[in-house]
Structure 1
Amino acid sequence: MGEFAEALLARVRAARVALAAAVAAGDAYAVAMAQDELDDMMRLACGHGVAVEAAGTDEE
């Protein structure tokens, strides 16, 4: 996997973590921001053929 794909997957993981934290905190603004970041990263990954399933989180 190239550096670009690795960096993109790291951003997806970070956005997922931020989204979960914002939801847990009940912070609607932070949820919207994190969801926007996640949407942007997913769109970018799709456009570059990066498999996002590889960017799972440690959540159970």
Structure 2
Amino acid sequence: MGDFAEAVRERVRRAREAVAAAHEAGDVYAVAEAREELDDALRMARDLGVDPGAGPEDEHEDPR
């Protein structure tokens, strides 16, 4: 599952970047969309047993 697990981690990484960029831009709608994508990516990782790595949402921080 190496390549697949890496693809899941990459999806999580890109989603985290999108959340941070949307916050930085102050775009509330983009934040909501990016957050939804991140939640989906993290759910997929959890369901498949893939460690997505630590991120702000794991520490209950808001990246604002």
Which TM-score band (shorter chain)?
0.7 to 0.9
TM-score (norm 2): 0.79
In structure 2, what is the equivalent of residue 15 of structure 1? 15
Unaligned runs of 5+ in 1: none
CA offset at residue 52 of structure 1? 1.3
In the alignment, the residues of structure 1 paired with residue 7 and residue 52 of structure 2 have an alpha-carbon distance, to the nearest angstrom, of: 12
Residues paired across the two proteins, number: 55
Identity rate of aligned residues, in percent? 60
* Amino acid paired to 2:12: V
Unaligned runs of 5+ in 2: 56-64
* Amino acid paired to 1:25: A
Please list, as runs of the form range in 1=range in 2, the aligned pairs for 1:1-60 lying within 5 A after superposition.
2-53=2-53
- Superposition RMSD in Å: 1.5
